[in-house]
């Protein structure tokens, strides 16, 4: 299986932004999303990961027109997440030219609907599994899933959710470590190795990538006879800490 680089474009109020650990109050603005997407593709990006943060938090499709412009004007596959909470929202994006949709909240709250969507669009629906450190009812530390733009705890553990998703015809799961997202502290390679042993679905890593060495480590990760299928990278690319060309060489030599 190839290890794919997915440069990330997060959109809030029509701007390309990055949040720190998902906090809307800790925002860095990187300009126009379409301009940034064009710059990534011009530098060699073969695909893009786009998130409508406003839709993820509040529902609806406030940045839909902008998302569709990115999906239809660059000539590379785009996967889109944020506010995809029913079949109509997924259909609108896929019909508009989006290659894959990422579903988070309903993966927890309406798993039957997610399963139906995965059957309707094989390989084009992914589950966004976003998790942070928490303590369970027994007082033990665990990774707990967050929903609605990471604002709410789902009350479901990472392990439980991954096992529930495993039988679905999903295109994969995007596993985001919220505690590391936007921090440049490096990814949780050990935790991702454990994740590979919890699901048979393709796994994309997200959160914490800060250097080329992080990409090399993720690409080389092997656990339970499996490897990651890709990585989503945002701040490291937007800030110039890692260039698109460096990232591509590390991920797709």
**Catalytic site residue 179?**
no
Joined tokens for residue 89: 């929202």
Catalytic residue among 10, 52, 54, 181: 10
Q: HSE, CB side, 13 Å, CA atoms: give it for residue 3.
A: 21
Pairing verdict, β 48-52 and 78-81: parallel
Beta bridge partners of 242: none
Nearest to 176 by CA among 130, 122, 226: 130
Catalytic residue among 130, 177, 188, 214: 130
In whole angstroms, what is the distance from residue 199 CA to residue 202 CA?
8
**Catalytic site residue 214?**
no
The helix/strand/coil state of 160 is: helix
The residues that are catalytic are 10, 130
């Amino acid at each position: 299986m190839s290890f794919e680089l997915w440069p990330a474009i997060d959109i809030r109020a029509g701007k390309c932004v990055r949040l720190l650990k998902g906090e809307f109050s800790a925002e860095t603005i990187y300009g126009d999303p379409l301009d940034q997407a064009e710059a990534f593709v011009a530098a060699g990006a073969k695909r893009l990961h786009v998130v409508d943060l406003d839709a993820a938090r509040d529902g609806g499709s406030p940045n839909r027109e902008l998302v569709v412009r990115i999906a239809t004007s660059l000539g590379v596959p785009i996967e889109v997440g944020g506010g995809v909470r029913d079949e109509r929202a997924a259909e609108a994006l896929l019909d508009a030219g989006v290659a894959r949709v990422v579903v988070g909240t309903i993966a927890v709250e309406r798993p039957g609907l997610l399963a139906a969507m995965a059957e309707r669009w094989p390989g084009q629906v992914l589950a966004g599994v976003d998790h942070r450190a928490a303590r369970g009812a027994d007082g033990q530390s665990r990774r707990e899933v967050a929903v609605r733009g990471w604002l709410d705890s789902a009350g479901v553990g990472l392990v439980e959710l991954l096992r529930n998703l495993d039988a679905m015809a999903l295109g994969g799961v995007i596993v985001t470590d919220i505690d590391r997202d936007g921090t440049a502290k490096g990814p949780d390679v050990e935790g991702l190795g454990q994740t590979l042993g919890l699901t048979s679905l393709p796994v994309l890593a997200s959160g914490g990538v800060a250097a080329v060495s992080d990409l090399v480590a993720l690409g080389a990760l092997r656990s339970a006879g499996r490897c990651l299928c890709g990585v989503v990278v945002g701040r490291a690319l937007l800030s110039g800490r890692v260039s698109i060309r460096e990232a591509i060489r590390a991920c797709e030599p």
